[in-house]
């Protein structure tokens, strides 16, 4: 969800206004994803590197996340959205942690769409966390060293049980992954859109899905028509 700051700057507004408008785009995108039958939608809401931003911007991002959960959780639950949160939890304030856990536990059994909120998330961090979890199990004898393979690592990531993303969309014209789902993105398709996140809407999502539908996914093999 890149480009909030530039959206605000282009209008002579403080960066925080771009983030506020960005939350509107989040609401529209979650609704549209459900309507389009997307089963898993992951939003990169706050990275483990975002703490380096100016204090007032960090405070505003945390405030917006809290408001989003407080105001929208009941509606998300009614619409059958299951919320999962990925990212480090150990250094979060108790109020944020409480809200994230409440969102997960209230919506645990919903089945229409899973909204994965990547918060305080960094992919390298996540892989290191998974390795620590596995190492603890090896040291307690619960897991044998020889049993550590890609599937085992997968099962110890924050995203355990969530399928790898088919499509990753980045807005604002930047052509980077920026420490997002590095392990899970091994075979993902990428769509980079020039629009800034606050301008992202149902039509932009439909456009990205149409682009995705035109791709041929081979997972290291060859196209089915070439094989026959």
Residue of 29, 7, 25 whose CA lies nearest to 16: 7
Q: Is 3 in the site for ligand FPP (CB under 6 A)?
A: yes
Give the contacts of 223 (CB within 8 A, at least 6 positions apart): 216
- What's the CA gap between 148 and 211, in Å, rounded? 36
| Residue reference for tokens 């456009």 | 207
The conformational region for residue 217 under phi > 0 = left, psi -120 to 50 = alpha, else beta, is: beta
Size of the residue set binding ligand FPP (CB under 6 A) = 20
* Nearest distance, CB of residue 174 and ligand FPP, angstroms: 7
What binding mask, one character per residue, do residues 32-51 give for ligand FPP by CB under 6 A, x or -? Answer: -----------x-x----x-
The catalytic residue positions are: 2, 50
- What's the CA gap between 44 and 116, in Å, rounded? 9
Of 38, 86, 96, 117, the residue at the interface with ligand FPP (CB under 6 A) is 117
Centre a 10 Å sphere on the Cβ of residue 129 and count the other Cβ atoms it contains.
Answer: 18
Question: Which CB, 10 or 160, lies closer to ligand FPP?
Answer: 10
Q: Is 6 in the site for ligand FPP (CB under 6 A)?
A: yes
- For CA atoms 57, 62, 66, 68, the dihedral sign is positive
Residue range at the interface with ligand FPP (CB under 6 A); choices 57-65, 98-106, 133-141, 155-163: 57-65
Q: Is 134 in the site for ligand FPP (CB under 6 A)?
A: no
Residue range at the interface with ligand FPP (CB under 6 A); choices 2-10, 31-39, 126-134, 141-149: 2-10
* Nearest distance, CB of residue 3 and ligand FPP, angstroms: 4
Residue range at the interface with ligand FPP (CB under 6 A); choices 16-24, 81-89, 133-141, 200-208: 16-24
Residue of 190, 178, 167 whose CA lies nearest to 47: 178
Give the containing element (helix H, strand E) for 156. Answer: helix 150-156
Residue 211 token pair? 């682009």
Binding site for ligand FPP (CB under 6 A): 1-6, 19, 22-23, 26, 43, 45, 50, 61, 64-65, 68, 117, 172, 197
């Amino acid at each position: 969800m890149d480009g909030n700051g530039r959206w605000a700057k282009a209008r002579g507004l403080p960066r925080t206004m771009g983030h506020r408008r960005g939350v509107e785009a989040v609401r529209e995108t979650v609704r549209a994803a459900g309507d389009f039958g997307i089963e898993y939608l992951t939003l990169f809401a706050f990275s483990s590197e975002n703490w380096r931003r100016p204090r007032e911007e960090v405070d505003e991002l945390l405030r917006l996340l809290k408001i989003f959960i407080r105001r929208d959780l009941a509606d998300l639950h009614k619409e059958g959205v299951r919320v999962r949160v990925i990212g480090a939890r150990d250094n979060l304030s108790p109020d944020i942690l409480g809200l994230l856990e409440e969102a997960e536990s209230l919506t645990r059994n919903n089945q229409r769409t899973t909204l994965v909120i990547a918060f305080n998330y960094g992919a390298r961090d996540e892989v290191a966390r998974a390795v620590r979890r596995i190492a603890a199990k090896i040291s307690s004898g619960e897991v044998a060293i020889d049993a550590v393979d890609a599937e085992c690592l997968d099962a110890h990531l924050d995203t355990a049980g969530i399928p790898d993303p088919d499509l990753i969309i980045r807005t604002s014209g930047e052509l980077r992954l920026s420490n997002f789902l590095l392990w899970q993105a091994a075979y993902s398709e990428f769509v980079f859109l020039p629009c800034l996140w606050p301008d992202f809407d149902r039509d932009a999502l439909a456009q990205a899905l149409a682009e995705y539908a035109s791709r041929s996914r081979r997972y290291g093999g060859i196209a089915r028509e070439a094989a026959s």
